[in-house]
Amino acid sequence: EDQVTQSPEALRLQEGESSSLNCSYTVSGLRGLFWYRQDPGKGPEFLFTLYSAGEEKEKERLKATLTKKESFLHITAPKPEDSATYLCAVQADSSASKIIFGSGTRLSIRP
């Protein structure tokens, strides 16, 4: 069964304190791994797609990386506006039209 596990569940950082969020996945043939951001009461907002091990993508203070078993979302010098839940999701070869989400990491940045 395809699965996505994210850790930690919650992370509190001081403004400027860099850290990483982890996403471990088990999938029967990875077509793509995705990161989304979700603010309270809103729908997920797309951040990145990664297709193959070794690939990296960057956007402002965020950088996503991918290995054969996991992905990391690195956040460098975060600001309070980066506070949100970050969702990892995968698309499997066996199921082309859906993505499977993890439970998310709730990130809180204190000023």
Partner 1 sequence: EPEVTQTPSHQVTQMGQEVILRCVPISNHLYFYWYRQILGQKVEFLVSFYNNEISEKSEIFDDQFSVERPDGSNFTLKIRSTKLEDSAMYFCASSEVFLNTGELFFGEGSRLTVL
- Please give the angle made by the CA atoms of 92, 37 and 3, to the nearest 5 degrees: 30
To partner 1, the closest distance from the beta carbon of 70 in angstroms equals: 17
Considering only 12, 42, 59, 69, the residue that binds partner 1 (CB under 8 A) is 42
Residue 9 sits in the site that holds partner 1 (CB under 8 A) = no
Member of 1, 14, 43, 111 binding partner 1 (CB under 8 A): 43
- What span, in angstroms and rounded, lies between the C-alpha atoms of 46 and 67? 20
Question: Alpha-carbon distance 56 to 84, whole Å?
Answer: 21
User: Which chain residues interact with partner 1 by CB under 8 A?
Assistant: 32-34, 38, 41-46, 49, 87, 89, 91, 95-104
